[in-house]
Amino acid sequence: MLHLDLVTYNIILGACNIAIIHNMVAIKMGMKQQEEYDGDGAAAVSSTQKMVFAYYVTGHGFGHATRVAEVVRHLILDGHDVHVVTAAPEFVFTNEVHSPRLFFRKGVLECGAVQSDALTVDPLVTLERYTEETVKPRASILAKEAEWLKFINADLVVSDVVSTVCRVAADVGIPSVCVANFSWDIIYLDYVMAAGPDSRSIVLQIAEDYSNCNFLIRLPGYCPMPAFRNVIDVPLVVRRLYKSTEEVREELGIADNVKLVILNFGGQPSELKLKEEFLPSGWLCLVCGASDTQDLPANFKKLPKNVYTPDIIAASDCMIGKLGYGSVSEALAYKCPFVFVHREYFNEEPFLRKMLEHYQGGIEMSRNALLSGHWKPYLERAMSLKPCYEESINGGEVAAQILQEIALGKYHASVNHSEAKRLCDAAVPDDQRRRAIGQDDILIPEWYANAGKQLVWAAWNGMLANISVPGNIIHVFSNESWLPQVAAQILQEIALGKYHASVNHSEAKRLCDAAVPDDQRRRAIGQDDILIPEWYANAGKQLGC
């Protein structure tokens, strides 16, 4: 059996690239970019060639494993062999796929985020564990995985989203693809802020490894991921339903007039002591991940460890949990109102939250309210929500077809995602800035939301001007009267092919440019509400840039 751990590079972009924002862009762009794949379903790859896919999956949370299971299901249906490397429970995959062409290998290459419970991430322990399990044995990991890929004759390496294997694939000469909505560099960058500059090399190495990836298949609700050169957007990847609401209720012995809430944290918080008074009269709570020894009140019911949660979510009146891709995507797809609790030190959250709220699918509950049992007002508010997600949810099928095309060498970077398009993705379109009335406290910061309008002119107004060459930055002083002449000269050299990206802008330098230098952090007095967040503003110092 095989179980893995994912780690992906999602570092916060910089300057112009500071705003590759979240939700709808991935959905809308995914629909347009995949016209040749989308229809009633994804068009089949016109090839009878059986291929071998090595799929590395993080063991951090069930969301990564569940979406991988959906992509793997389609690869298996198309007749290919899939070797899954993961630390996640095998049943997550076998619930969906029963095939002799599905192979498991238990393995953890990267630890993800270490949590003491479902809501508490320990950044220092995470970095320490990553150092011990990934940094120190790096040479042996690279060698071992290279030999294994050769042994299974892999045609394509797929990662969700372990950075190290992108480097391994490049060393072996096999193309690699990441499938994700975030990467671990943006997550770990926040941890470096807490740990200090001694850990900055971890983020730089993750970024460098991701840069070896041929493509990123980007999922809705995505974070900034500037390490990836070529991006393909797809619809939501969610697991299909097998049972109707009526069938689920009948199997669980629940009457039609009972209100159902599913408590889904991917592992029950140890400090949460459930009590009967937590729920309003007429409600029943279905608990995921409860221990076998945990006693529950009469109005709470344990679900089996291997329960197929999409059917339960679709049959529930609402869900309480943390913001993760799996929970958010399935709540949106099956229109289940989501009462979510904030989790510190996980920069994926703001982007998923904005997608969820854009479709009127969720409200936030404080941690104190969760622990104290003050659930009633949140459940009542959730029942007033009208989730309105109507976009495609066949991202697993679409992603599987793209992976096959890439493995066959039929998919080219320039087809659907030009360098100009990548630059546009860094801006936030107007329809991404709309927020519910009364939610000003969680608006996208102005400095971030206005990136699109300022994309062209900001370079001329700041302390530095950046002439942006796709993926590469050339710095010139903007406080000099001769700036236009310098810029014009550089543009001419680029046009003549005399300016080369690798000369002045290494991968490490690109990562440093994602941090905000001191002189770019100055804000007008009294504008604290739109200040660049401290975790972002201090990135430059921590990275040593």
* Structure-block tokens of residue 347: 């920069």
pLDDT in tens, 446-478: 433 444 344 333 333 433 334 444 445 554 544
**Domain interval for residue 70:** 15-236+393-424
**β-strand 215-218 against 283-287: which pairing, if any?**
unpaired
Task: Tell which residue, 245, 230, 206, 214, has the closest CA to residue 334.
Answer: 245
Instruction: Kindly state the tokens that stand for 429.
Output: 């379109």
Interval 162-215: pLDDT, tens: 999 999 999 999 999 999 999 999 899 889 888 888 888 999 999 999 999 999
pLDDT at 128 > cutoff 90: yes
Read off the pLDDT of each residue in 108-119 and give the average, rounded to a whole number. Answer: 85
231/252 same-domain check: no
Supply the pLDDT for residue 434: 33
Q: 200 with 283, same domain?
A: no
pLDDT at position 328: 97
Q: Which residues pair with 85 in a beta bridge?
A: 56, 105
Domain annotation covers residue 7? no
Please check whether residue 420 lies inside any domain of the structure. Answer: yes
**What percent of the chain has a predicted confidence (pLDDT) above 70?**
68
In a domain, 5, yes or no: no
153 and 109 within one domain: yes
For residue 432, tell me if it sits in a domain: no
Q: Is residue 4 part of a domain?
A: no
User: Which are the contacts of 422, defined by CB distance < 8 A and separation ≥ 6?
Assistant: 231, 470, 471
Indicate if 70 and 215 belong to the same structural domain.
yes
| Shared-domain flag, residues 228 and 131 | yes
Instruction: Locate all alpha helices (DSSP H) within 3-114, ordered by sequence.
Output: 23-33, 62-77, 91-94
By DSSP bridging, strand 300-302 and strand 318-322 are unpaired
From its phi and psi, is residue 477 left (phi > 0), alpha (psi between -120 and 50) or beta? beta
Least confident of 77-86, 288-297, 361-370, 533-542: 533-542
The SS3 of residue 489 is helix
Residue 535 in tokens = 């975790």
Number of residues that make up the chain: 545
pLDDT at 531 over 70: no
Q: Which amino acid is at 431?
A: D
**What's the mean per-residue pLDDT of the chain?**
77
| Better-scored residue on pLDDT, 67 or 115 | 67
Would residue 52 count as lying in a domain? yes
How confident is the model over 133-162, as pLDDT tens digits?
A: 999 999 999 999 999 999 999 999 999 999
Residues 166 and 219 occupy one common structural domain: yes
Whether 326 shows a pLDDT value over 60: the answer reads yes
208-241 confidence digits (pLDDT tens): 999 999 999 999 999 999 899 899 999 999 999 9
Q: CA–CA distance from 186 to each of 191, 256, 261, 446, 530 (Å)?
A: 9, 44, 32, 20, 20
The verdict on 265 and 370 lying in the same domain is: yes
Shared domain for 249 and 299, answered yes or no, is yes
0.75 exceeded by pTM: no
* pLDDT exceeds cutoff 90 at 539: no
CATH number at residue 345: 3.40.50.2000
pLDDT at 542: 53
Backbone angles phi, psi at 194, to 5 degrees: -80, -35
DSSP annotation of 107 reads -
- 153 in the same domain as 41: yes
Residue predicted with more confidence, 286 or 289: 286
**Does some domain include residue 3?**
no
**Same domain as 86, residue 161:** yes
**Residue 350 placed within a domain:** yes
How many domains are contained in the chain?
Answer: 3
Better-scored residue on pLDDT, 3 or 492: 492
